[in-house]
Amino acid sequence: MALIIPVRGFTPEIGEGCFLAQNATIIGDTVIGDECSIWFNTVIRGDVNSIRIGNRVNIQDGSVLHTLYQKSTIEIGNDVSIGHNVTIHGAKIHDYALIGMGAVVMDDAVVGEGAMVAAGSVVLSKTQIGPHELWGGTPAKFIKMVEPEKAKEMNIKIAHNYLMYSQWYDQTEETK
């Protein structure tokens, strides 16, 4: 069963139909929407500020979400895919965005609707990634525009695939 830890008077809230891997850790002021999947070794640490996650979001293995005390929060929209070993620190990620494996997204950065951050990229603090833009590199820079319908279609497919994958597990132990 996932480790759910209340802190500072906040208990994480988990939506309906979510998959929480047995060794995922969810802490404090965290609200997770419906049909999300939080995968193995993921840490969502809402101890110093709030973390809000929309519906059908998949946060893949080894990812870490955290914030700055009294300064930054995390807001993640609907149908967002967060790849393996991603670090999100106090950023806003809009609907249908994709954050590639091993990427880092820092405080007060904004990733627009349908935008993509390439694997291994570092999105510096206060970076503004517009809707349907592809960014990559260290530090991340604009690469090209992404066709809006293709990006949305791809991210919905990934979100639905992760929902399907989560159903392969015995959810009596992993879900709330």
Mean pLDDT of the chain: 94
Whole-number Å distance between alpha carbons of 145 and 132: 6
For the cut 50, the answer to whether the pLDDT of residue 175 exceeds it is no
Pair of tokens at residue 118: 């390439």
Over residues 86-112, mean pLDDT: 98
Domain spans in the chain, listed from the N-terminal domain onward = 3-169
For the cut 60, the answer to whether the pLDDT of residue 174 exceeds it is no
Pair of tokens at residue 170: 């015995």
- 60-68: long-range pairs with CB below 8 Å, 24+: 60/84, 60/85, 60/86, 60/101, 60/162, 61/21, 61/85, 63/39, 63/87, 63/88, 64/88, 65/89, 66/90, 67/107, 68/107
Confidence (pLDDT) at 39: 98
Over residues 16-23, mean pLDDT: 96
Confidence (pLDDT) at 176: 43
Contact residues for 104 (Cβ-Cβ < 8 A; gap 6+): 86, 87, 89, 121, 122, 123
Read off the pLDDT of residues 131-163 as tens digits, 9 standing for 90 and up: 999 999 999 999 999 999 888 888 889 988 998
Over residues 89-113, mean pLDDT: 97
**Which of the four pLDDT bands, split at 50, 70 and 90, describes residue 16?**
very high
The percentage of the chain sitting over the pLDDT mark of 90, rounded to a whole number, equals: 87
Second-level CATH architecture of 3-169 = 3 Solenoid (2.160)
The percentage of the chain sitting over the pLDDT mark of 70, rounded to a whole number, equals: 96
Read off the pLDDT of residues 42-70 as tens digits, 9 standing for 90 and up: 999 999 999 999 999 999 999 999 999 99
Over residues 127-133, mean pLDDT: 97
Over residues 101-110, mean pLDDT: 98
**Which of the four pLDDT bands, split at 50, 70 and 90, describes residue 171?**
low
Confidence (pLDDT) at 159: 84
